[in-house]
């Protein structure tokens, strides 16, 4: 089984955002970076597929040199190879452009299973995986929370309010994964050490003419006024009052 | 023409579809255009007569389309766009709506702005949209250069308004599908097991975060919930990633989006990915020992204290009041 997993480097925002002076980007001075949560689970799923069925796994990202950090973290967990499509302006690539670059890079490599996150944590475009599937003429099931491989076919499940939808598709196929499909492992110390030595295949990519152009980022209105009910257990009577107000007791 | 793609759910239009119709009518008025609604799926014909206030209803009704079959639906929407040449196509920003429109955008090689919340119309043309980033904790203003403009509408961004306008003409679209359009198709639905009050239905939700410290500690939240009417227990991503709670209990950008009357956040710092999952709560009460925790900037009520002391004291007092 040859498995590809695509990830995106995103700011680890914690409790709030600061925007750059031109309002075009999230200010990442003094901010760490992470991988979108859905993609963290996609990485774990890729490792598990190879553990169970054998083969190899490759992690790919379109991003700056610094995204090597996220690629190596995936390798430290058990992914076997990495590919960086290097673009410093990656935040301004629209989904069609990103999908085009990924499809061109992976087409000659013949992956059986291509995993994406259902949507990235930052841009939330919900479409890179679907577009790659179209460009490679492969079936695509989005938003999956379970995946099983049997006899070169995949059984994928989506969770909805009504229950679990079961899909069966022949491989090769593309899946966009949702958090909850598994619980991602932490890298081992030995994994972290050996990941440093794994070579990352790199190539520079250039952004084509865009279809979508960002004009600005802005923060939504937040309208809550904080009332301090008290310190420690002294606040209990006031909490009871608030519970009464909403009819909880 | 503004083409509004509607969603059929259990033989009726979904809530998000009514919001799409409202947005489409508004866009049509501002751009001096008309609205055509597109209904795809088995039973679409019967629903078409219930629609009012649009110029036309296009219907693709076919026995084979008895569930959401993504590529088949995308083929129908793509050919409707080719045939009718709308200026704007708008669909619900639901899971199926975003899946469908991504496939349409890929087939037609067009840009797609998902989960839009606002539209800027200047001189009768749609110039920019505002769309949701980071699950709604940031907004992005976007210009769309490709044409027709493809959009999905963030659910709940625009309240649905019914229209008692004129009865539209109904036009059946030819349904030309190939075998390939059916290669992704649901083969079975396994009904979910009903268990207690769900996070999205509860009137009070009690959430636990990093400050809980263990799976064991969640027992006191369960006990608190059992003493309240219609209450459920949820968790942050830290708690589910640590295995303290199952992922189905997760509240946040990649978990449940809740809207209870009261959300009680225990030992939760207030990471933005968590807050987008609870921001529709009517009131938020935060219990945290760190007065600098960001959650206090997004809460209505604050208790500065150790949840491991406050929650047991609250439980004891509720028991005393109830005489149990």
pLDDT tens across the length of chain B (324 residues): 999 999 998 889 999 999 999 999 999 999 999 999 999 999 999 999 889 889 999 999 999 999 999 999 999 999 999 999 999 999 999 999 999 999 999 999 999 999 999 999 999 999 999 999 999 999 999 999 999 999 999 998 999 998 877 789 999 999 999 999 999 999 999 998 767 789 999 999 999 999 999 999 999 999 999 999 999 999 999 999 999 999 999 999 999 999 999 999 999 999 999 999 999 999 999 999 999 999 999 999 999 999 999 999 999 999 999 988
Residues of chain A short of pLDDT 50, as ranges, are none
Helix-then-strand count for chain A, H and E: 6, 13
Residues 7-26 of A with CB under 8 A from B: 13-17, 26
CATH number for the segment(s) B204-322: 3.40.50.1220
**E strands of chain A, at which residues?**
2-7, 9-11, 33-35, 56-63, 81-86, 113-117, 140-150, 153-160, 163-170, 173-177, 200-204, 212-218, 227-231
Q: Where in chain B is the domain with CATH 3.40.50.620?
A: 2-182
**Rg, C-alpha atoms of chain A:** 21
What residues of chain B lie within 8 A of the CB of A238, using their CB? Answer: 301, 303
Q: Provide the shortest C-alpha distance from residue B60 to chain A (in Å).
A: 23
Structure confidence at residue A131 (pLDDT):
98
Grouping H, G, I as helix, E, B as strand and the rest as coil, residue A241 is helix
Query: A233: nearest CA in chain B?
Result: B310
Structure confidence at residue A99 (pLDDT):
98
Structure confidence at residue B259 (pLDDT):
94
Q: Answer whether CATH 3.30.930.10 is correct for domain B2-182.
A: no
Token digits of residue A142: 């989005």
Q: Where in chain B is the domain with CATH 3.40.50.1220?
A: 204-322
Give the whole-angstrom CA distance, residue B136 versus residue B151.
16
Burial track A128-163 (b if 16+ CB lie within 10 A, e otherwise): bbbbbbbbbebbbbbbbbbbebeeeebbbbbbeeee
Q: Is A212's CB within 8 Å of B145's CB? A: yes
Structure confidence at residue A218 (pLDDT):
96
Give the whole-angstrom CA distance, residue B320 versus residue A25.
53
Structure confidence at residue B308 (pLDDT):
98
Q: Is B318's CB within 8 Å of A16's CB? A: no
Q: Is B204 on the interface with A (CB under 8 A)?
A: yes
Q: Is B301's CB within 8 Å of A122's CB? A: no
Give the whole-angstrom CA distance, residue B142 versus residue A90.
16
Could you give the domains of chain A?
Answer: 2-221 (3.40.50.620)
Cβ pairs bridging A and B (under 8 Å): 270
Nearest to B313 among A183, A228, A233 (CB): A233
**Residue listed under structure tokens 């079959």:** B69
3-state secondary structure string, chain B? CEEEEECEECCEECHHHHHHHHHHHHHHHHCCCCEEEEEECCCHHHHHCCCCCCCEEEEECCCCCCCCCHHHHHHHHHHHHHHHCCCEEEEECCHHHHHHHHHHHHHHCCCEEEEEEEEEEECCEEEEEEEEEHHHCEEEEEEECCCCEEEEECCCCCCCCCCCCCCCEEEECCCCCCHHHHCCCEEEEEECCCCCCCCCCCCEEEEECHHHCCCCCHHHHHHHHHCCCCEEEEECHHHHHCCCCCHHHEECCCCECCCCCEEEEECCCCCHHHHHHHCCCCEEEEEECCCCCHHHHCCCEEEECCHHHHHHHHHHHHHHHHCC
Q: Is B228's CB within 8 Å of A125's CB? A: no
The single-letter DSSP state of residue A180 is T
Structure confidence at residue B194 (pLDDT):
67
Structure confidence at residue A51 (pLDDT):
98
Structure confidence at residue B261 (pLDDT):
97
Residues 175-204 of A with CB under 8 A from B: 178-180, 183-184
**Residue listed under structure tokens 């303290």:** B244
Q: Is A211's CB within 8 Å of B111's CB? A: yes
Structure confidence at residue A238 (pLDDT):
98
Q: Is B215 on the interface with A (CB under 8 A)?
A: no
Q: Is B116 on the interface with A (CB under 8 A)?
A: no
């Amino acid at each position: 089984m040859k498995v590809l997993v695509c990830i995106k480097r995103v700011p680890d925002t914690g409790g709030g955002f600061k925007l750059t002076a031109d309002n075009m980007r999230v200010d990442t001075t003094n901010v760490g970076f992470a991988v979108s949560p859905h993609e963290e689970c996609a990485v774990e799923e890729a490792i598990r597929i190879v553990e169970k069925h054998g083969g190899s796994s490759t992690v790919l990202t379109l991003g700056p040199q610094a995204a090597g950090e996220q690629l190596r973290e995936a390798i430290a967990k058990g992914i076997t190879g990495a590919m960086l499509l290097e673009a410093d302006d990656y935040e301004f690539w629209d989904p069609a452009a990103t999908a085009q670059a990924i499809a061109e890079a992976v087409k000659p490599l013949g992956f059986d299973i291509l995993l994406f996150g259902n949507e990235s944590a930052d841009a939330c475009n919900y479409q890179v995986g679907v577009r790659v599937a179209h460009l490679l003429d492969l079936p695509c099931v989005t938003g999956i929370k379970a995946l099983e491989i049997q006899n070169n076919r995949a059984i994928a499940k989506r969770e909805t309010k009504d229950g679990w939808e079961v899909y069966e598709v022949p491989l090769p196929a593309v899946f966009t994964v949702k958090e909850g499909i598994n619980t991602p492992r932490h890298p081992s110390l030995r994994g972290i050490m050996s990941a440093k030595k794994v070579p990352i295949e790199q190539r520079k990519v250039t952004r084509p003419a865009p279809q979508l152009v960002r004009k600005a980022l802005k923060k939504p209105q937040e309208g809550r006024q904080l009332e301090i009910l008290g310190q420690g257990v002294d606040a209990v009577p006031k909490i009871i009052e608030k519970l009464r107000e909403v009819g909880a007791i | 023409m503004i083409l509004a793609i509607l969603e059929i759910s259990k033989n009726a239009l979904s809530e998000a579809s009514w919001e799409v119709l409202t947005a489409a009518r508004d866009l049509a008025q501002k751009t001096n255009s008309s609205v055509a609604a597109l209904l795809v799926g088995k039973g679409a014909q019967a629903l078409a007569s219930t629609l009012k206030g649009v110029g036309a209803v296009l219907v693709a009704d076919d026995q084979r389309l008895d569930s959401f079959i993504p590529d088949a639906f995308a083929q129908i929407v793509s050919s409707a766009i080719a045939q009718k040449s709308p200026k704007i196509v708008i669909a619900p920003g639901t899971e199926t709506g975003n899946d469908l429109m991504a496939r349409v955008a890929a087939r037609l090689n067009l840009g797609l702005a998902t989960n839009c919340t606002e539209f800027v119309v200047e001189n009768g043309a749609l110039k920019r949209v505002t769309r949701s980033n980071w699950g709604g904790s940031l907004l992005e203003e976007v210009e769309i250069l490709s044409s027709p403009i493809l959009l999905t509408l963030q659910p709940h961004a625009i309240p649905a308004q019914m229209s008692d306008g004129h009865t539209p003409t109904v036009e059946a679209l030819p349904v030309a599908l190939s075998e390939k359009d059916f290669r992704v198709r649901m083969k079975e639905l396994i009904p979910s097991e009903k268990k207690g009050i769900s996070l999205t239905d509860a009137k009070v939700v009690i959430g636990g975060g990093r400050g809980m410290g263990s799976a064991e500690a969640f027992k006191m939240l369960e006990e608190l919930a059992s003493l309240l009417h219609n209450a459920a227990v949820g968790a942050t991503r830290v708690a589910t990633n640590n295995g303290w709670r199952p992922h189905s209990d997760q509240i946040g950008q990649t978990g449940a989006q809740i809207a209870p009357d009261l959300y009680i956040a225990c030992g939760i710092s207030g990471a933005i990915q968590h807050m987008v999952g609870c921001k529709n709560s009517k009131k938020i009460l935060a219990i945290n020992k760190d007065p600098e925790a960001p959650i206090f900037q997004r809460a209505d009520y604050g208790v500065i204290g150790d949840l491991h002391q406050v929650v047991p004291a609250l439980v004891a007092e509720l028991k005393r009041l109830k005489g149990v």
